[in-house]
Structure formats: C-alpha cells, structure tokens
Amino acid sequence: MVPPTTFGEVAGRNVFAGNHVSGGSLNVTIHEPSHLPRRREPFSTVPFLPDPDFIERTDVATWLHDTLIPAGSRAALVGLGGVGKSQLAIQYAHRIQQQTPGTYVFWVHAGTRARFEEAYRSIADSLELPRRHDPGVDVLRLVYDWLFDVDNGQWLIIVDNADDIDVFYPENHNQTATAASTQRPLASLLPQSSNGRILVTSRSRDVAQRLVGSSWSIRLMQPMDKGQALQLLRKKLRDKYEDEPAASLVRTLDYIPLAITQAAAYILRRWPRTSFSTYLEQFRSSEKKRESLLHKDYGDLRRDAEATNSVVLTWQITFEQIQKERRSAANLLSFMSFFHAQGIPEWILHNYSMRRHEYEGSALEDGGDGNDSTDSDELLDDDLETLRAYSLVGFTAQQNAYEMHALVQLCTRVWLSSVNSMERWRHVFLRVMSKEHPDGEPENWMTCQQLEPHIAQIIETEPLTTEGKENWAQLLNNAAWYRWQMGRYGAAEAMLRKAVEIREKILGGDRSDALEAPSKHHLDMLISVDLLAIVLEKQGKYEEAEQLHQQALNGREKALGKDHPDTLRSASNLALVFEEQGKHEEAEQMNRAVLDSREKAIGKEHPDTLISASNLAWVLIDQGKHEEADQLHRRVFDSREKVLGRHHPDTLDSVQSIAWMLGDQGKHEEAEQLNRRTVDSREKLLGKDHPDTLSSVQELAWVLKKQGKYEEAEQVGRRALDGREKVLGKDHPDTLSSVKELSWVLRKQGKYEEAEQMDLWPLIAAERR
C-alpha cells in the first residue's frame, strides 16, 4: 500500500491525479509536477551568528521594527563603513527568525554583481528550486518568481553592502549601449511583493533611495554615542577594561564601532606591553602612527570574509567609489580633509569652488567633471550632496558650516598618499588659505576667528616649493596680525619671525638688501618686518622694535616714497617706540609730520589720520601740553564715534583716553563711569584677558585709588596684575606698572609686608634682564 502523501496548501497550482483499483479498494496518488519546488520549512541564510558583544541601539531597532511592519515594505540603513550597519542588520535578522519562525530570511551580499548573483543561486539551492541546474535556465529569475509568489509565505531579504549604483542600474553609469543591454538591472530582481520585506545596508544614500523608493525609509546611521561606545569597549576588553582612559579612547576614535573594535583587538594582542594609555599615547604621537594603527586588520567573524577590517581600507573603498562617480566631489573631499574637523565655513568652500581651477592649478589633471560652464554654486551643491550622501560630511545650520569625522579626514589623507596626491592637495589647501585668510584688522576678526583652528596644522610645516613658501609666509603674516590684535603677542612674534625668515630665503639675500629693492617680494618683507616690530614693542622689547621699524621705514621711503600710506604707517609706528623710550621730542616731531601728511592725503577723519592725532595727543600729555592734548583727544573721539561707531576698538581707545584726562583733571567720578563703561565694552569685544582690556581695568583701579576706595582698588588692581602677568609676563613694563600701583594701595591699607614684597618685584625683574 502506498503511504499517504502529506503536503501543504497547493491552491492555485495544477496537480495531476491518477487512480487504480487494488484488492477492491480505490487508491488515489497525487503527484506534484516536477517543475514545482518542494515545500520546505522556513530557514535563514544569514552567514553570521548573533554577536555576544552586540550593543543594542534602541532607537534604530525601534525604527527598523516600525518601518518594516507594513506588507511589502523596504528600509535602508545608510552610513560610513564600519559604523555598524551590517551588525544591526544581522541582529535584526536573528530577531525576526526568533519572533516569526514562519519567515524565510535571506542574506544577499551586494558589493558586486557577481556576489549578488552568487547569493541568488545559493537561495535557489537552499529552496531546491526545480530546473535550477538546467542549461540555459535563468536561475535569478527562478528566485524572483519564487519570491513574488505569495503562496510561498513571508520572507525578509537583507541586501548588504549595496554601495555601487552600477551593480543595480548598470545602464545609468558610463557604459556602452552594448554592455548595458547585456546586463539586466539587478534592482529588478528585488520583487515588490506583499509577502516580503527588504532591508538594505549601504554607504550611499543615493543608492539606498533608488532601492527603497523613499527618503522616509532611510535611516542615516551615526557613530555610537559615548555610552554605547564604552559598553562596546568594555565587552571587547572584559577584564582588561580601564575606566579612566576609556572615555578618552572612544572619543579619540570618534565613537566609530569598527575603530573601537580594532583598537581593542590591538590592545588585547599586545597586552600587557600595550595598555589603554600606551595605545592613546601612540595614537596621538603623530599622523604616521595613527595611520599605522588604523591600518591594522585583526579580523572579525561577523564581517564579510571578503571585507577588510582595517578602518583605512574600509573607507578607501568609499573614496574610490566617489572618485569613479564624481571626480569633483572627490577633489572637494581631498580639499576638506586638511581642515579642522568641526566648523568648516561654507563661505570658504564657496570661494574655493568659484575659483577652483585657479586654486587647483597644476595640482590636478582634471579639475572637475569636464564641464567648465557649470555654475560654481551648483557644482559645489552637487559635490557636497554627494559627500553627504556617503555620510562623509555633515552640515550645521546654526554655524552655516560643515563638519567631518577626524578619522575620515585622516583616512582621506592616507588615501591621497597612496595615490601620490598628498602634497599636491596640501599645496592647494595652503594656496586657498593664504588667499582667503584676511589681515587682522577689526572688520576681519570674525573671519580670522573662524579660520584659526583650520590653519593650526598647516602653519607648522614649511613647504618645499617656492610658491608654497610664498603662500606660507603670507598666511603666517595675516594669522600673526590677528593674534597681535587679540593680544597674543608671543604667538604672533613666533609666527612673524618665521614669515620674515622664509621671505629672506625667497629673496636669497640678507635683510638689508631685501629692504631696499622695490619688488613685490621686498614689499611683502617690509610688511612682515613692520608687524614684527609692532609685536616686539607691545612686549616691551623697544630696542629691537626701533631697529626694525627704522629698517622698514628706510625701505619703504626708497621703494614707495615718503608720502605713501605704508611709509607713513612705518613712521607712525617708529614714533610710538620713540615715545615708549622717553624720546618725547623725536616722537612729537615725527607724529606731527605724519599727521600733517595724512590730513593732506586722506583727510582729517580717516581712521589712520585719527590714529596719528591720538598718538600725538599722548606725546603732548607726556610733555605737559595738556590743553592741546585735550582738544586732540576730544576731536578724535567725536570723529571715531561718527566714522567707526561706538564699539569699534579705536573708539574705545578714545573713550579710555578721555577717561584718563578727566581723572588727571580731578574729575574722578566722571572718569570712573567712563572707565567702567570701557572695561565692560572691551570685555565683550576683546575678552577679559586682552591687554587692552587689562589696561582699562588698571585705569579703573587708578581712579578708584584717587577717590580713596582702596578696598575695591586693591581688588581691581589684583585682577589687572594677575592678567598682565599671565598674558604679558612678569617683566613686561605694563606688569611692573600694575605692581607699583598695587603696592601703593596696599600701603594705604596698612598691608606693609605684602607691599614690601611687591617693591622687590621690579628689582628681581631688572636682575633677570
């Protein structure tokens, strides 16, 4: 007797029934046709076991669950390589298998067309689809038909590493008509069926959107938060975990799971010779060492066997994909890799794009996509959108600036080195910065502040080429100018000495020769020398400052003439040094000459003319000529307030001058009010520790002393002294002036012991000199 056949639901299919009589009984045998697959219990082809070290990201898991509930739905996880997309997909697949055991789960690696097809053939074998081995049979279509048939039950496909648009839509990208016609779009093999759901992981938002059909079905994956990153590190290191340095390590690695996993593997392999602290020390020691550490590949059983586990190589795949898809976007990425990771101003990217061919010059064989007529704003928008689609850059609307992961920038530079383009792009970045970084005048302070973190590294390394040296010197000059205006005299001096040195090398002669020739390079040298002299004067280094100002003045007189604005600027600066050294007659004579020339050339209310008038007023005060000085100061204040505004630094200088005059005339209450106003305004504009702010604080202490308000005068005077000691140093003339004032106030309060200690300060300073 033939045993009965057990089968599942066969509705909608043709079956062939035969019957015969045996021993008086009717036996019926039903045969499934050979072209139909044999029904199997649902299974999973996910090639990875659940990860015992997996860190749940509840928000992503909830989003996946909600997005993939509707029948026929699709969703995509999009983000950087190594950010954890595939790990989340693996975990989701195992969860589905546990919670809905009646669902098939298929894993399709989509990094290349060959691997996609291989995955589909493997599915056909697992389902034991009939005719799959027949010659000429379209196995991929067999799988598609099975998936499309609702009678086969529920299924989930995970399309992993769907990064390359050419894999899914070959006709869309740079192929001949013949080549395209022979390859059907693989996207057409992902059925839109009510019994199936599709989860895509991709580095490209554009590819993901094509595959899932809606941006609402895309989750942009960010690195872990701090807590998640620490949990992952703790699980990886177990008893080797150290609380104190762990936070620094995960922050240094930008909270990126792959980087954390590889760092943990490195530490474990080299324990105890390598601990948290030694790894961090090595990572921070140099860019070359960071590159070496990020190149390490210690394997991971839960990553595809053909995928690298090196952070550097993982991201280089993305860089090369962008280079293939849109060269101008790869160029922009190369340029942006030299910025500080945060706060990359949009305006400088716009300026770079607008003058791209000029800035890139010979650095590239092809500066763009071969379309010179493309509008620069449109080109930049498209390039940035490409980089954002690959999660390489982000945008901060409040700052109107872009940001990147520091590790992405590092790996981009490593990639550039691997294709021998590192120095070319460093040169492009330096060229742009030297042209776009303005001088340090007040109207440019906001721009200078924006650019300051971005030039920190580039100004430390001297370029090799002559043009590179010229650009470097220009950038040093303007950056130092801003630091001078911010009262950071030591940093400004160091940068200007570098600028002068490099410009001497470019000229190929000694400085005295350079200062007398009228070429552009010589005039640039004069600017750097003059600025260096100003910074030296601000630090009380009057002798060297006088020598440099005199050299600059002589050079400018010869090259430009006596009445040129730059020549007059040098003369004005030299007069200031004369005044600081007590050479009052020489200072008055030079200031009057400069003032007269400026009034004739640029008018009485030009800011430069007003500087000369103010400088002359102070020289007159030092000679007891108070009436003329008072008239000059008031004239300057009125003009500055009208021309520059109440809160301009020069206007605040005039307010301070008038406050001093009022105090000197015994009008102490009015002087106090003006001094408090000036302190408040300068704190807001310049900061509490700027030398000009501290000068206002000292003036306030003086006028309080004059009114017998010794307790508050002591308090304010200590603030001025502490600030000046920190910013200017113990031996600076302004610091010693604060010491003298505080000593006097202490004596008035009977604090003789501390006052005597203060009196020793100038003596010790003199010995140090």
CA gap 517, 312 in Å, rounded = 50
> Taking each helix axis from N to C terminus, what angle separates 327-336 and 311-325, rounded to the nearest 10 degrees?
140
Tokens of 712: 């508050």
Q: Which of 260, 295, 330 is the last residue of a domain?
A: 295
Any domain includes 434: no
Any domain includes 110: yes
Any domain includes 307: no
Domain with 653 in it: what CATH number?
A: 1.25.40.10
DSSP string, 279-302: HHHHHHH-HHHHHHHHH-----TT
DSSP string, 740-758: HHHHHHHHHTT-HHHHHHH
512 burial via Cβ count (<10 Å: 0-12, 13-18, 19+)? exposed
Helix (H) or strand (E) holding 196: strand 196-202
User: Can you give the pLDDT at residue 287?
Assistant: 78
Any domain includes 209: yes
* Beta strands in 115-176, from DSSP E residues, in sequence order: 155-160
- Residues of 608-628 as b/e, b for ≥16 C-beta within 10 angstroms? bbbbbbbbbbbbbbeeeeeee
DSSP state of 44: B
Domain with 165 in it: what CATH number?
A: 3.40.50.300
240 and 272, same structural domain? yes
Number of domains in the chain: 3
Query: Residue 716 belongs to what domain range?
Result: 645-768
237 and 88, same structural domain? no
421 burial via Cβ count (<10 Å: 0-12, 13-18, 19+)? middle
274 and 196, same structural domain? no
Any domain includes 649: yes
Q: Name residue 402's beta-bridge partners.
A: 344, 395
Any domain includes 692: yes
247 and 200, same structural domain? no
128 and 71, same structural domain? yes
Any domain includes 508: no
CA atoms within 13 A on the CB side of 749: 18
**pLDDT per 10-residue tile (average), the chain, 769 residues:** 30 41 48 55 90 91 94 94 92 93 94 92 93 90 94 95 89 46 79 94 93 93 92 86 82 88 82 79 80 66 55 85 91 95 94 88 47 69 92 85 91 92 93 95 91 90 89 95 90 95 81 59 91 94 95 92 94 94 94 95 94 94 91 94 92 92 91 93 91 94 94 94 89 89 92 88 69
- Residues of 595-605 as b/e, b for ≥16 C-beta within 10 angstroms? bebbeeeeeeb
User: Can you give the pLDDT at residue 369?
Assistant: 47
286 and 205, same structural domain? no
Any domain includes 421: no
CA gap 149, 388 in Å, rounded = 38
257 and 115, same structural domain? no
The runs of H, that is alpha helices, within 437-540 are: 445-455, 466-485, 489-507, 511-514, 520-538
User: Can you give the pLDDT at residue 374?
Assistant: 54
215 and 263, same structural domain? no
239 and 216, same structural domain? no
User: Can you give the pLDDT at residue 549?
Assistant: 96
Whole-angstrom CA distances from 329 to 497, 524, 693 are 38, 35, 46
Tell me if 759 sits within 8 A of 743, measured CB to CB: yes
User: Can you give the pLDDT at residue 548?
Assistant: 96
- Which residues, other chains included, contact 453 with Cβ-Cβ below 8 Å and sequence gap of 6+? 340, 342, 343
CA gap 618, 584 in Å, rounded = 10
205 and 80, same structural domain? yes
749 and 666, same structural domain? yes
Which amino acid makes up residue 588?
A: E
The model's pTM: 0.79
127 and 82, same structural domain? yes
Tokens of 707: 């009114």
Backbone angles phi, psi at 689, to 5 degrees: -105, 10
